[in-house]
Structure 1
Amino acid sequence: MTTATPRNPFIRLDAADNVVVARMEVPAGTEVPSEGLVTLHPVPAGHKIAARFIAQGEPVLKYNTIIGFASEDLPPGTWMHSHNIAFGELQKDYRHGLDYRPTELLPPEKRATFQGIKRADSRVATRNYIGVFIVGHGAATVARKVADAFDEEVLAGFGNVDGVVPYVHEQGAGMELSGEPMDLLRRTLSGYIRHPNTAGALVIAQGNEHNALDEFLAATGLQPGPMLRTLVVGEAGGTRKAIQAGIEMVARMLPEANAVKREPVSAEHIMVGLQCGGSDGFSGLSANPALGAAMEILIRHGGTAILSETSEIFGVEHTLTARAVTPEVGKKLVERIDWWLQYNAGRDTQINGRVSPGNNAGGLANVLEKSLGGAKKGGNAPLMEVYRYAEPVTQHGLVFMDTPGYDPVSATGQIAGGANLICFTTGRGSCFGSVPAPTVKLASNTPMYVRMTADMDINCGVVIDGEATIAEMGQRIFEQILRHASGEPTRSEALGVGRNEFVPWPIGVTD
């Protein structure tokens, strides 16, 4: 009878690291033969211990990357976290474009396909919605009531329409009449209205917004027609009459919106917005690098991956600038990082060191460690372009969009830019969803996946469990992306999550 070899309770990520990560909750006094030490303290799952003596002020290395500095002398086996890992300034070599290596694209005839919806302008949709939009918050109730009139019973006769969704926000008034804040709001709304997944749109105004309806249409070049209708509450005769008029307008769009079919199209039409939220110490070991591996596959098939959350790549942005297609693209990213540093100067925010309480409890000591894991969602693909928030994404491959770290705001910008699918990694169990582009949820650890199976689509915890490699998980994720792009509902879609997660970046709200 043979005895199974006990699994190492800690994971070594790189030979040069001076920390190792707990695979599970580990009691004090646990022997770690692979490192020749004994744990000095209880260690929560996903947290770190010193793998050797680390002197005060010495860099702490994870994935052979600095995540902070020892705030005191740390004997081997010491539990290491924000209480003894200090946040500090890093010297970065941006190496703009010096490490660029072009992706070897598969020839068109060898690229994967999915069942997509071809639009008249040759773009491809993964879903088919009618949207009810507002230019300012004053029309929110009307928009909600118009959309709510089209429940499952009403839409039963329109099987190719995924739903009628209200896109309600709190902007459009109490802000500058022109300038970046207004441009940003209009760019976001326009991006959703023009999105391939939006078959038709109704745009509603109260009638006295700063974001005036006529000016919004003129600024964005949107032209009303049979599938883009407008409604002004005051001109319609008030709330009740506006609701009825809006319902009638949407009803007239339904037959044309329904007249679509899915057909095989190239995976080059898939554009994925990359998100992480409720991250833990395993996110950067399993879900994020596995998603990165999937994105490398997608990019080889001609597709696009949008990395974002600018404040959450701070500290590792040089790993992206080094593989930028040109020095100019790398410098665009640094310019956005500099904007965030200036904007957050003197504030108690993440970019200045501290992560959220949930991230911290999950094993992330500071923003450097979080950024190290978060950037892995893009894999090792070259950086092809940098976009501002909600700008239309036209470049294929790995691109970056400047967004806040707050998931609903960030994903809203990505979808406005054209993302027709969102992939969202989580270690703590974030329940985000989105429309019109669906969200695929990837769990970083098996215990959370088991607890929240109804919310999670993919369990990347099997990497931590030793049951799959990063490459194997990347292939699984890519294949599931193709299925969801073909119409297979995600867990968040089945739960109806996403109708309230439209959150344009509220920069510039002044009164």
Structure 2
Amino acid sequence: MSKNYVQIDPKDNIIVAITSLPKNTFIDVAGETFTLQEDIKQKHKFALYDFKVGDEIFMYGVLIGKAVLSIERGTAITVKNIKHASAEYNNSKEKFTWTAPDASNFKQRTFNGYHRKDGKVGTANYWLVIPLTFCENRNLDVLESTLSEKLGYETQKDFAVDIEALIKQYKAGASSEAILNTPIITTQEEISKNRVFPNVDGIKFLKHDGGCGGTREDSEVLVKLLAGYIANPNVAGATVFSLGCQNAQINMLQKAIKGIDPNFTKTVYYLEQQQSKSERHFIEEAVKHTFIGLTEANKIERQPASLNKLILGLECGGSDGFSGISANPALGYASDLLVALGGSPVLAEFPELNGVEQEIINRCVTEKDAKKFYNLMRSYSAAAVAVGSGFENNPSPGNIKDGLITDAMKSAGAAKKGGTSPVVKVLDYTEQVTKPGLNLLCTPGNDVESTTGLVGSGCNIVLFTTGLGTPTGNPVAPVLKISSNTNLYERMNDIIDINAGTVITGEDTIESMGQKILNHIIRVASGETPSKAVLQANNDFIPWKRGVSL
């Protein structure tokens, strides 16, 4: 894709500028020759034909907008001259066929993971500490400050300060010069080498602002989400804090866990503060139980596992005008490879499927799932309209600035992450992934809420494409960031794992980049290469309260 401009689909009547194009640039595309009437910024689009008011605008082969002003051929497509529009859809599916890509190079590949008794395999091995209500967040802070650094786990920075060394110097009567020359900084790499439990990747503290005070439905959904985290294959066990009087009760969590796995065997310690002797005894009990849980979790070691045990969350955020033509379709090809290998990619963010609904309905294997997707999209859209908004308000200022003018334009590119395979199951928020193949999960477009939901439904690794950059991570699943352009990868290399910008420059094809992505997934899933989000301790966790979140 080394040309200066590209028509993505033969049906498209707007063209993408791969580089910034000055006025009077000669254009030869799709049998049309003309010169640009104005400067076109990189990643933005220009008209292939003259448009009248009301004319339909197509990109990725789908309707993404309508002209609200007359637009001359060779001029820029902007928020001023087009408005959002998307194709109509219905709940009757058409015939769909799929040819799987050649995955023979990966047939004999495995990853080294943590095998659980329920047959699932984790890409990491964590112990969770979970509050059932926000009232317990302070106690989680106490536990975190007590355990994390002392046991060799990360703090919120990439280094730790050893104040005890200065205290020892002071008590020994050291001079100011001696104190100034005392080394007190320890890097995370050095801390990790001293882990007490080398087979446990960390203790994760899932603080939140729910569990009480909101609607009962919010608490019920939160409990199901927390149950999903405890059941996630990347989790060895959990310590659960309850105040006692909140909406989200211990028995609700236990019931939700049994709903996921009737034969659940992981160790979970339930502690209720209102039944304790004192706060001191409560914390003491929590520390001791958690320590014992860590000793058990440390007994499990990584073992080879088939790639069909990978449950791959597909996410995007901070998208730009290249996301839909480099990072997203490359991830889509990796997704198709995983489906061919028996794995389970999961496509989320329902507001960012606006405009491609009929294509997805047609891809559903069963009529039941086609209708479920139809109903979820209709109800989500109606809820947004009911509060004076709508899917058309999804693109952020950053999206628009970098060339994503309408929601349908953004969505058509975002949907490319899901590849081309059949949809085997449509899941509502907190429902679990149980079928191999491409799953759809209803989550909002909010990056962290959506990523939180993907992991709560069972994903053991998440792939996150971005054109503008994001530090988003997750406490339980490694989140790998894929840049749509090389400039971003070079500027934010500390948080970006994979550069798909080489598709734009022509060094890679969609297929070759998709294979590179899958190879990187295998290394991370095996614990060989940590994700940048894990290195940066990005432990973002925001439960969705099922309100309108675009």
Global fold match (TM > 0.5): yes
* Contact 2:328–2:414, Cα closer than 8 Å, also in 1: yes
Aligned with residue 162 of structure 1, among 201, 204, 216: 201
**Distance in 2 of aligned mates of 1:485 and 1:7:** 33
Aligned equivalent of 2:227 = 190
Aligned equivalent of 1:208 = 245
Aligned equivalent of 1:56 = 53
**Distance in 1 of aligned mates of 2:404 and 2:115:** 43
**Distance in 1 of aligned mates of 2:126 and 2:367:** 40
Q: Gaps spanning 5+ residues in structure 1: where?
A: 1-5
Aligned with residue 398 of structure 1, among 438, 452, 466: 438
**Distance in 2 of aligned mates of 1:100 and 1:278:** 33
Listed one character per residue, the Cα deviations across residues 425-470 of structure 1 (whole Å, up to 9, x for unaligned) are: 0011011111211101000111111110110000011111111100
* Contact 1:112–1:301, Cα closer than 8 Å, also in 2: no
**Aligned residue identity for 2:25:** T
Query: Residues 201 and 75 from structure 1, CA distance in 2 versus in 1: closer, same or farther, beyond 3 angstroms?
Result: same
**Distance in 2 of aligned mates of 1:280 and 1:71:** 23
Within-5 A mapping of 1:462-481? 462-481=502-521
Listed one character per residue, the Cα deviations across residues 157-187 of structure 1 (whole Å, up to 9, x for unaligned) are: 211111111011111111234xx43331111
Question: How many Å apart are 1:238 and its aligned residue?
Answer: 4.2
Query: Residues 373 and 350 from structure 1, CA distance in 2 versus in 1: closer, same or farther, beyond 3 angstroms?
Result: farther
**Distance in 2 of aligned mates of 1:107 and 1:325:** 25
Q: Gaps spanning 5+ residues in structure 2: where?
A: 153-194
SS of equivalent to 2:69: coil
**Distance in 2 of aligned mates of 1:7 and 1:308:** 31
Aligned with residue 432 of structure 1, among 472, 485, 506: 472
Aligned equivalent of 2:526 = 486
Listed one character per residue, the Cα deviations across residues 312-338 of structure 1 (whole Å, up to 9, x for unaligned) are: 101111111111112221111111001
Which is worse superposed, 267-276 or 103-112?
103-112
* Contact 2:231–2:257, Cα closer than 8 Å, also in 1: no
Question: How many Å apart are 1:220 and its aligned residue?
Answer: 4.0
Question: How many Å apart are 1:282 and its aligned residue?
Answer: 0.6
* Contact 1:278–1:430, Cα closer than 8 Å, also in 2: yes
Query: Residues 110 and 41 from structure 1, CA distance in 2 versus in 1: closer, same or farther, beyond 3 angstroms?
Result: same
**Distance in 2 of aligned mates of 1:205 and 1:372:** 43
**Distance in 2 of aligned mates of 1:384 and 1:141:** 42
Aligned equivalent of 1:3 = none
Aligned equivalent of 1:175 = 214
**Distance in 2 of aligned mates of 1:308 and 1:157:** 37
* Contact 2:65–2:84, Cα closer than 8 Å, also in 1: yes
**Aligned residue identity for 2:231:** R
Aligned equivalent of 1:74 = 71
**Distance in 1 of aligned mates of 2:15 and 2:142:** 54
**Distance in 2 of aligned mates of 1:121 and 1:221:** 12
**Distance in 1 of aligned mates of 2:25 and 2:18:** 13
* Contact 1:100–1:325, Cα closer than 8 Å, also in 2: no
Aligned equivalent of 2:121 = 124
**Distance in 2 of aligned mates of 1:396 and 1:443:** 27
Work out whether 1:503 is the aligned partner of 2:532. Answer: no
Listed one character per residue, the Cα deviations across residues 62-106 of structure 1 (whole Å, up to 9, x for unaligned) are: 122111111122111111022111223533366515114475897
Aligned equivalent of 2:342 = 302
**Distance in 2 of aligned mates of 1:244 and 1:376:** 50
Which is worse superposed, 152-161 or 90-99?
90-99
Aligned with residue 25 of structure 2, among 30, 55, 61: 30
Aligned equivalent of 2:82 = 85
* Contact 2:489–2:496, Cα closer than 8 Å, also in 1: yes
SS of equivalent to 1:481: helix
Question: How many Å apart are 1:141 and its aligned residue?
Answer: 1.1
**Distance in 2 of aligned mates of 1:466 and 1:108:** 23
* Contact 1:105–1:302, Cα closer than 8 Å, also in 2: no
**Distance in 2 of aligned mates of 1:113 and 1:401:** 26
Which is worse superposed, 206-215 or 416-425?
206-215
The structure number with the bigger radius of gyration is 2
Aligned equivalent of 2:382 = 342
Listed one character per residue, the Cα deviations across residues 468-504 of structure 1 (whole Å, up to 9, x for unaligned) are: 1000100100111111111121011111112xx1111
Which is worse superposed, 40-49 or 329-338?
40-49
* Contact 2:2–2:504, Cα closer than 8 Å, also in 1: no
Within-5 A mapping of 1:305-454? 305-347=345-387, 349=389, 351-454=391-494
* Contact 1:302–1:396, Cα closer than 8 Å, also in 2: yes
Listed one character per residue, the Cα deviations across residues 274-308 of structure 1 (whole Å, up to 9, x for unaligned) are: 10001111110000000000000011111001101
**Distance in 1 of aligned mates of 2:39 and 2:103:** 49
* Contact 1:94–1:319, Cα closer than 8 Å, also in 2: no
> What's the C-alpha RMSD, in Å, of the aligned pairs?
2.4
* Contact 2:236–2:266, Cα closer than 8 Å, also in 1: no
Query: Residues 469 and 14 from structure 1, CA distance in 2 versus in 1: closer, same or farther, beyond 3 angstroms?
Result: same
Question: How many Å apart are 1:342 and its aligned residue?
Answer: 1.4
* Contact 1:40–1:77, Cα closer than 8 Å, also in 2: yes
